[in-house]
């Protein structure tokens, strides 16, 4: 038997250490948590994506009493970006969350598996690395590409 260890590069920043552009994305993601529709989980998530043309598109989680019918903030954002700007790559996505008490989470929240797969496909579609910023009041995680968030990922190449 052979055993491998997978390690990922992860940078952790304080808000003040971020560039102005990254602060703007984080602020928009935080703002979008207030547009969330989360009457069941009471967990509000917002996302903001920067496109190569300079546009910023945003989204928030939208729940439904029939749980599978809801959608996460990351997917509402990326699906909107890809449908409105089909030939423009997404370069960065920022994600923020507020808990049931209405406070922003201390530690960054990581996207669910479905969102990770959609992020991977969006990165593949755009042909450039999709950088990820995960906001927490105690620090902001930066991942330089989706594979860092989703090691051993499944891609279209795996179906050939």
- pLDDT per residue over 19-29, tens digit each? 999 999 999 99
Report how far residue 39's alpha carbon sits from residue 100's, in angstroms, rounded to the nearest whole number. 10
**Residue 106 within a domain:** yes
Domains of the chain: total? 1
Report how far residue 82's alpha carbon sits from residue 125's, in angstroms, rounded to the nearest whole number. 9
Query: What CATH number did the domain enclosing 68 receive?
Result: 3.40.140.10
- Which ranges of the chain would DSSP assign to H, the alpha helix? 20-32, 73-84, 113-126, 146-149
Residue 16 is a catalytic residue: no
**Residue 4 within a domain:** no
Identify whether the C-beta of residue 158 lies closer than 8 Å to the C-beta of residue 117: no
Summarised one tens digit per residue, pLDDT across range 85-115 is 999 999 999 999 999 999 999 999 999 999 9
- Among residues 63, 74, 121, 142, the one annotated as catalytic is 74
pTM given for the model: 0.94
Q: Which domain holds residue 133?
A: 11-154
């Amino acid at each position: 038997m052979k055993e491998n260890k997978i390690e990922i590069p992860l940078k952790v920043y304080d808000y003040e250490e971020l560039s102005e552009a990254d602060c703007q994305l984080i602020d928009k993601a935080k703002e979008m948590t207030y547009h969330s529709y989360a009457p069941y989980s009471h967990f509000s998530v917002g996302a903001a994506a920067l496109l190569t043309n300079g546009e910023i598109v945003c989204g928030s989680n939208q729940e439904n009493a029939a749980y599978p019918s809801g959608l996460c903030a990351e997917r509402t954002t990326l699906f909107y970006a890809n449908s409105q700007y089909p030939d423009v790559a997404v370069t960065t996505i920022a994600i923020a969350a507020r808990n049931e008490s209405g406070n922003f989470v201390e530690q960054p929240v990581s996207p669910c598996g479905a969102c990770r797969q959609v992020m991977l496909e969006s990165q593949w579609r755009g042909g450039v690395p999709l950088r990820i910023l995960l906001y927490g009041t105690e620090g902001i995680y930066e991942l330089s590409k989706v594979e860092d968030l989703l090691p051993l990922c499944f891609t279209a190449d795996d179906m050939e």
